[in-house]
Structure 1
Amino acid sequence: MTNTTGSGLILNRRTMIGAAAALVGAPAILRAQQLFAAYPFRLGIAAGDPAADGFVIWTRLAPDPLAEHGGMPMQPVEVEWQVATDPRFATLVAGGKALARPELAHSVHVEVAGLLPDRPYWYRFTVGSERSTAGCARTLPVAGASLDRLRFAVAGCQNYEDGLYTAYRHLAADDPAFVFHYGDYIYEGRSAPMPVGYDGKPRRFVREHAGQKLFDLADYRRRYAQYKSDPDLQAAHAAAAWFVTFDDHEVENNWVGEIDQEKDPPEVFALRRAAAFQAYYEHMPLRRSAFPGPAGMQIYRRATIGNLLDLHLLDTRQFRTDQPCDDGFKPRCAGWADPAAQVMGQTQEAWLSTALKQKSARWNALAQQVMMMPLDRRTGDELAPIRNMDSWGGYDAPRERVLKMVQGLDNMVVLTGDEHQNYAGVLRTQGGQGDAVAVEFVGTSITSGGDGADRRVGEDRLRARNPFLAWTNDRRGYLLCDVDADQWKTEFRTVDTVTRPDGMIKTSGTAIVEHGRAAVTVT
């Protein structure tokens, strides 16, 4: 005798008895006897925040991803997990059980520890007779250990409606040690069945968002479920551990602190932001240290990778003051130079300054969200300089403070997203007119902006007005970074289309930075 619950589970008599017996204690836990009416691991698996002795592994049970509660009953479910030294799981080195709780959308975050440094491991999850696919994650070398070379990828800005995630399939095949995701994992808007390109013309419709604009926890959960159902995104997660950070669209376009574009009262927007943060945590392979609370999320952190790379992951949203000039792409205004302006906030700035003074590795990298180069955006006959107020270009004082921190290190690379284009350039003090102190690589989007082109209209004028800008490109894709003691090489990996399946990958440009010189050459 079976009982169909309508929640994605079929419970047999033995399961019902076990669940009833568990009610003697609290809470009741649905154990491994259950049979799912649909595959429960439809959102895939992921690993994140790798360290020398382990990483986080993640999954979420969702037999019906877009349904209420993902098709799960409102009870905790016990999930088994395993970590092995081989893809066949012949040699298990760690394992256990974790609770997928309804309060966290039946997601599971396991912080695996006790592993050996600088080697790959494979992991998977099981519930009853159901088993997830296997993922691979590599532990980091011990901080200070000799490391000859490192390969990693940089990606983000993946508007589901704008295109297919083909680039992620290619990223997985490039075999990075890890991935840095600079944010905009989801987009919060409602469906736009008539998309418009940057040129103002209609562009090809690809696929649409489920649901309306996101405001509450159920909205955000549904959107993540839709994005994470994509097989190419799942493949990229299964291929390597990710360091994830958020930008704006995980909450709302161009939000900062407790300020949104709707001009809502701060206490009202704080409720929406809290829901967005909870859903972000529920769907990302983050450690317990990032668990959202009344003060927000602890998302800035650091990873020192052998003696080769000190990776500083920044938060440029939670502690930022309001954008000057009422946001947008605007001509020069007094707000650009406000000495009280903040991008990271005083506490995070002090944390970064302390970390940089330690000089823990051959290279430093700032892994962050918005362009640091103060790009003059004029592409026509405009008289006054124009900047993107949502980038560091709208915040002269904070940018100069950071550049002063890195001045003299001669080993700093800044990794950025948000722009939906590829850029390579030199970071100079004094608004781009002073000393060269670092190199910035801005990664394009996975899909946001549609197919794009090899060159965007007005590129020549943009380059002429910004001599620190070395190269730009308007295709979709990701960055692939190969680093050794003497040289940092960034390949701009791009696909020819995201609006049709099976886009072809190529390297549109290769940028080289020599250690000890704040300069870049692109071929």
Structure 2
Amino acid sequence: MKDILLDRRSVATATFSLGLLSACSSWRGAGRAFAQNPFTLGVAAGEPSPDGFVIWTRLAPAPAEPSGGLGPQPVPVAWEVAEDPNFRTIVRSQEGLAQPRNAHTVHVEVGGLQPHRPYWYRFHSGGATSDTGRATTLPAPGANVDRLHIASVGCQDFESGFFSAYGHLAREPELDVIFHYGDYIYEFGQRDRNPFRRHLGNETATLDDYRRRYAQYKSDPDLRAAHARAIFIPTFDDHEIDDNWAGDFSKDDGRTRAFLQRKANALRAWYEHMPVRSSLQPSGSTRYFRRFDFGALLRMHALDTRSHRSDQFCEGAAARDAAGADCIPRYDASRTMLGREQEDWLQRGLSSETGWNFIAQQVQMLPFDGRRDGETETVRSTDNWNGYPHARQRLVTAIAEQGLGNVVIGSGDMHQHLVGTVPLDCEDPESRPVASEFLATSITSGGSGSERHSFQQDILARNPNLALLNNRRGYQIYVVSPNQWRTRLKVMDQVDTPSGAVSDLAEFVVERGRPGPLRA
């Protein structure tokens, strides 16, 4: 249920979930005063359009406590959007209630703004004021855009290290959008990874478990700074719910009523804590895949590679029990990574008319043989596109048949920087390149890492479609212009302490019409 509120200055096209604030004095006096800052989880913006975006916050004066330290009552909250960081020219503002049934989170779908320009936003409640966030609207449809800066991030296990990479990302001089490929939280209980970073509570299962885990992660100051810096376009991968889940199947127990309830709890908490539109509130028909057009420069296809996929082969205890220790994957054309609806949607949306097609998704797509010394058989993951070869080949063939030379794939999950090409024949990595892939390393997952694993040179030798593989933490920055895509790989020296430094690892260039990354 959505209530449309009237702007105090003009009639605004904005949706405030959740509830009307009855007539009262101005927001500065509305509601009780807080003994502690209620905006401990910061602010965020997402889901950009040419005339607006979503802004988010959650009221949680005590984020580690149940309900964030708030009782069962609604709490008055107000928001403002301005043309300048000092809020001298406020263009939208409203008042409403943050409801306990939604963990006192607020999602505002702001509209009526000008295309392709920055705005600043903030929230107020009980005399307190939130951080100030910055968000940029999309260019008008078909508009010429000279340059776009996109960051790619993900895999941020709280226990594996500090989120210092986000602090560095927040200080990047130019940044339009942050694509989060998933694993925003990790569901595990305490694992003694880092004495200074411990998960609160046991492994997540209930709605309250997931809400508290998001609150713990969002309390991190570096993550808060990154959210305040730029629009996030978030997707989810496995750890937001359960390691290596697929469709209605958990990793270890298969399709059970308990897992379906856990998944519902997790997706509700994900919606509550992400700056996304109300259409992404979880229901039986929710579509998490969506598309964003940055004028004529770039079309971003944000995919969901978890909800509709066939169950993995040889994954988890149930598969091992059924097939034995030497389980052999047996693939057939009916197996899917995206589901038919999403697969058709993606193929229809790919276009040569836009400057670039950016397929923003969660897991490695390019063919990859993970054999090490002494292993004679090809080793392929069953949890990424290598475990769904027919589905991958259908997509690759569609790209080739349309003659698209403008496809770049963003991915993650591997906890390493990887750069390479997706070939026309995925069984022959040396066949003609069809798309470029930039797989971003983790923020913390895997620990500080090293410049390379001992076996990485063997991996590169067995995979001629790879240009780089690196085992440091960090993020990637894409600098996109009409005829050139540049990717800058950023790496952290360590994540064991909050003083980690960032540096440039490498830079790659893709020329439009010529798939395949070249080292700059």
TM-score by length of 2: 0.90
- Secondary structure at 1:347's aligned position in 2? helix
Residue in 1 that maps onto 2:359: 366
Residue in 2 that maps onto 1:406: 399
Q: Give distance in 2, aligned partners of 1:459 and 1:413.
A: 24
Is the Cα–Cα contact under 8 Å of residues 138 and 295 in structure 2 kept in the other structure?
A: yes
Residues 238-297 of structure 1, C-alpha deviation per residue, up to 9 Å, x if partnerless? 0001000000000000001110023154322110000000100110000011111134x4
Distance 1:24 1:340, change over 3 A: closer
Q: Give distance in 1, aligned partners of 2:508 and 2:337.
A: 28
Is the Cα–Cα contact under 8 Å of residues 416 and 470 in structure 2 kept in the other structure?
A: yes
Residue in 2 that maps onto 1:310: 299
Residue in 2 that maps onto 1:198: none
Give the letter aligned to residue 178 of structure 1. Answer: V
Residue in 1 that maps onto 2:158: 160
In the alignment, does 2:393 pair up with 1:394? no
- Secondary structure at 1:431's aligned position in 2? coil
Q: Give distance in 1, aligned partners of 2:464 and 2:489.
A: 20
Matches within 5 A, 1:226-375: 226-263=216-253, 265-295=255-285, 297-326=286-315, 335=329, 337-356=331-350, 358-375=351-368
Give the letter aligned to residue 502 of structure 2. Answer: I
The count of residues paired between Structure 1 and Structure 2 equals 487
Is the Cα–Cα contact under 8 Å of residues 76 and 126 in structure 2 kept in the other structure?
A: no
Is the Cα–Cα contact under 8 Å of residues 38 and 61 in structure 2 kept in the other structure?
A: yes
In the alignment, does 2:50 pair up with 1:52? yes
Deviation at 1:301, TM superposition (A): 0.2
Aligned with 1:103 (options 101, 118, 122): 101
Aligned with 2:119 (options 121, 142, 152): 121
Deviation at 1:430, TM superposition (A): 2.5
- Secondary structure at 1:75's aligned position in 2? coil
Is the Cα–Cα contact under 8 Å of residues 214 and 273 in structure 2 kept in the other structure?
A: yes
Deviation at 1:325, TM superposition (A): 2.7
Distance 1:24 1:119, change over 3 A: closer
- Secondary structure at 2:188's aligned position in 1? coil
Give the letter aligned to residue 233 of structure 1. Answer: L
Give the letter aligned to residue 380 of structure 1. Answer: D
Distance 1:332 1:265, change over 3 A: closer
Residue in 2 that maps onto 1:171: 169
Q: Give distance in 2, aligned partners of 1:485 and 1:283.
A: 34
Is the Cα–Cα contact under 8 Å of residues 336 and 394 in structure 1 kept in the other structure?
A: no
User: Identity of aligned pairs, percent?
Assistant: 46
Greater Cα shift, 252-261 or 204-213: 204-213
Distance 1:345 1:24, change over 3 A: closer
In the alignment, does 2:500 pair up with 1:500? no
Give the letter aligned to residue 305 of structure 2. Answer: T
Residues 330-377 of structure 1, C-alpha deviation per residue, up to 9 Å, x if partnerless? 999763532111100000011111111x43411101000000012100
Is the Cα–Cα contact under 8 Å of residues 81 and 97 in structure 1 kept in the other structure?
A: yes
Q: Give distance in 2, aligned partners of 1:256 and 1:490.
A: 30
Q: Give distance in 2, aligned partners of 1:145 and 1:332.
A: 55
Is the Cα–Cα contact under 8 Å of residues 76 and 96 in structure 2 kept in the other structure?
A: yes
In the alignment, does 2:474 pair up with 1:477? yes
Unaligned runs of 5+ in 1: 1-21, 26-30, 196-203
Matches within 5 A, 1:373-384: 373-384=366-377
Give the letter aligned to residue 466 of structure 2. Answer: L
Is the Cα–Cα contact under 8 Å of residues 332 and 386 in structure 1 kept in the other structure?
A: no
Give the letter aligned to residue 325 of structure 1. Answer: C
Q: Give distance in 1, aligned partners of 2:75 and 2:498.
A: 37
Q: Give distance in 1, aligned partners of 2:477 and 2:143.
A: 23
Deviation at 1:500, TM superposition (A): 1.4
Greater Cα shift, 69-78 or 178-187: 69-78
RMSD: 2.2
Distance 1:509 1:327, change over 3 A: farther
Unaligned runs of 5+ in 2: 1-19, 24-28
Q: Give distance in 2, aligned partners of 1:231 and 1:48.
A: 19
- Secondary structure at 1:520's aligned position in 2? strand
In the alignment, does 2:85 pair up with 1:87? yes
Give the letter aligned to residue 144 of structure 1. Answer: G
Deviation at 1:148, TM superposition (A): 0.8
Residues 380-410 of structure 1, C-alpha deviation per residue, up to 9 Å, x if partnerless? 2101000111010111100001111211201
Is the Cα–Cα contact under 8 Å of residues 43 and 55 in structure 2 kept in the other structure?
A: yes
Is the Cα–Cα contact under 8 Å of residues 432 and 468 in structure 1 kept in the other structure?
A: no
Residue in 2 that maps onto 1:424: 419
Residue in 1 that maps onto 2:6: none
Residue in 2 that maps onto 1:34: 32
Residue in 2 that maps onto 1:201: none
Distance 1:335 1:150, change over 3 A: same
Q: Give distance in 1, aligned partners of 2:511 and 2:327.
A: 37
TM-score by length of 1: 0.90
Is the Cα–Cα contact under 8 Å of residues 49 and 55 in structure 1 kept in the other structure?
A: yes
